[in-house]
Each structure stands twice: as C-alpha cells, then as structure tokens.
Amino acid sequence: MPEAIGIKKIIEEINSTIIVSHNIPENFIVCILNHQPKTGHKSESVWLAEPVTGKLSKMAFNCNIKGKKDSKYFSFAIKNDLVNKIFIPEDAEIKNVKSDKLNTYINFNVWNDSIVKFMKDVIVYYVETFEPSDKFGCCSKYKECSKAKKCLHSNKFYSKACWYRKNLEAGKIFY
C-alpha cells in the first residue's frame, strides 16, 4: 500500500502522460504534498494552474490515506458534480460528509489499478473542461487566425485563455 510519497510519484507519472497526450505545459498540473505537523497527517492535492499566470486555480482532487495502521484506506475528495461525469469504479464507496457540502468522498479499501484509472480520469476531465480565469486579448497570430477563421496557436491549451479565439468560434472576425 503506497504512502503519501508513493502516491505523489504515481500522480506525477499520470500527469506526465496527460501532459504529452494533451499538449499542455509541464507546470499546468501541480501535485502538492500537504503535511499537518501537529497530527503528522499527509495528503496529496492535484491542482490545475492558469496557463498565463501559473497561479493555482482548480483542485482536481485531494487524496488521503486514512484509518488505523492495519486498516488503512484511500479517500479522494472530489467536487460533488464530478460524481455523475466520470466513471466511479465498482470497488469504490461513495460517501457524503455533512461537514463538507462541496465535496464527495470516493473511498477505496485496497490499492489497485482502478484507483490509478480513477485518478487519471479525474485529471483528464478537468484538463479537457478547464476554462482559464486569466485571459488575454490575442496573440501575435491574430491576423493569421482571422484569415483562417480559427485559432492557429500551436498550444491549444494555452489558446483557451485567448478572448479572440472565443470570438472566432462565435463567427466574429475583427482583423
């Protein structure tokens, strides 16, 4: 059963495949080891960063190893609306906690491949649906984009932050 450090390594491996498959910058998916000194509790959070500023913007999930020494389990906090948008493995327990109105907890008793697939599915969902809050007007290709009537930026992920791309998609060509 991996501890928090091992989970970080697995998450980093998942992230490296998503970075390549979705042509996104390496610093877009950020894995943070959270440590509470008083309790010694550790967890991992996976965040998406703004493509323009790099500031952390959206948490994909938080993973905790909970329970006592001989009966540990893995608990993932995900946003409530995500439960109906991705596949939840059959070996997972779905739990709502009254004190946390924003998240649903997906618990696994045993570490297995379905956890790795679950983590990847959550990250991919957020990468594919991510809309940056930090936007820019247009890039240096705006005239070429106007002629082509679509965004031509090579980094499709970065181009999500372009306001002119949104206008082109709506059929509004300014240049």
Span 123-131, average pLDDT: 88
Using the predicted structure, report yes or no on whether residue 77 has a pLDDT greater than 80. Answer: yes
- What is the DSSP code string of 32-51? EEEEETTTTEEEEEEEEE-T
Distance CA 123, CA 136 (A): 25
pTM for the full predicted model: 0.78
Using the predicted structure, report yes or no on whether residue 175 has a pLDDT greater than 70. Answer: yes
Question: In which band, very low, low, confident or very high, does the pLDDT at 94 lie, cut at 50, 70 and 90?
Answer: very high
Distance CA 26, CA 18 (A): 10
Distances (CA, A) of 106 to 1, 62, 75: 17, 10, 6
Where are the chain's structural domains? 4-129, 136-175
Three-class SS of 63-86: EEEECCCCCCEEEEEEEHHHHHCC
The residue type of 32 is: I
pLDDT 10s digits, 104-124: 999 998 888 899 999 999 999
Residues paired with residue 94 on neighbouring β-strands, in sequence order: 106
Question: In which band, very low, low, confident or very high, does the pLDDT at 86 lie, cut at 50, 70 and 90?
Answer: very high
